[in-house]
């Protein structure tokens, strides 16, 4: 019984509550003068620099969450994925275009096969696995 009480419980919700960054990114997306992808890529305004800092925090957070989920048992990992399906999807849809902008701004080519982070690939795979499959008759 004491061992169970001393065991650290994986609670990504607690950490995500501390990061209210997606709300700021939503604001940035709505108020960007040239569209948020182009504004971020060209970094002409102070807000564009703030977004870079927030994007880094979110990337660090989700990279850690993916790594922790992979270390869990399959049952715990499946529970993690189902609880975080919406959050990871919102994150990926908001932040990955900014990573793509950085990638192409540096002059690189072929983001999908050469530049895409493994945590995005895994999050997208988990999203696909979590969706109900259409039955074909």
pLDDT per residue as tens digits for the range 89-103: 888 999 999 999 999
The answer to the question of residue 5 being in a domain is no
The answer to the question of residue 7 being in a domain is no
The answer to the question of residue 137 being in a domain is no
The answer to the question of residue 67 being in a domain is yes
The answer to the question of residue 88 being in a domain is yes
Sign of CA dihedral 60, 66, 71, 72: positive
The answer to the question of residue 105 being in a domain is yes
Domain containing 37: what range?
12-128
Contact between residue 40 and residue 101 where contact means Cβ atoms under 8 Å apart = yes
- pTM flag (> 0.85): no
Point out the least confidently predicted range of 1-10, 21-30, 112-121: 1-10
- pLDDT(112) > 80: yes
pLDDT-derived band at 132, boundaries 50, 70, 90: low
Provide the domain count of the chain: 1
Tell me what pLDDT residue 87 has. Answer: 80
Share of the chain above pLDDT 70, in %: 75
Point out the least confidently predicted range of 1-5, 30-34, 78-82, 101-105: 1-5
The answer to the question of residue 4 being in a domain is no
The answer to the question of residue 84 being in a domain is yes
Phi-psi region of 117 (alpha: psi -120 to 50; beta: other; left: phi over 0): beta
């Amino acid at each position: 019984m004491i061992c169970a009480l001393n065991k650290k419980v994986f609670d990504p919700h607690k950490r995500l509550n501390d990061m209210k960054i997606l709300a700021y990114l939503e604001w940035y997306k709505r108020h960007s003068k040239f569209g948020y992808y182009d504004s971020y890529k060209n970094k002409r305004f102070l807000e564009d620099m703030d977004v870079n800092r927030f994007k880094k925090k979110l990337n660090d957070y989700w990279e850690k969450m993916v790594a922790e989920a992979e270390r869990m048992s399959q049952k715990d990992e499946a529970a993690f994925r189902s609880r975080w399906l919406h959050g990871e999807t919102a994150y990926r849809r908001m932040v990955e275009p900014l990573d793509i902008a950085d990638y192409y701004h540096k002059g690189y080519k072929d983001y999908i096969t050469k530049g895409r982070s493994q945590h995005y690939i895994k999050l997208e795979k988990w999203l696909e696995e979590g969706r109900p499959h259409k039955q074909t008759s």
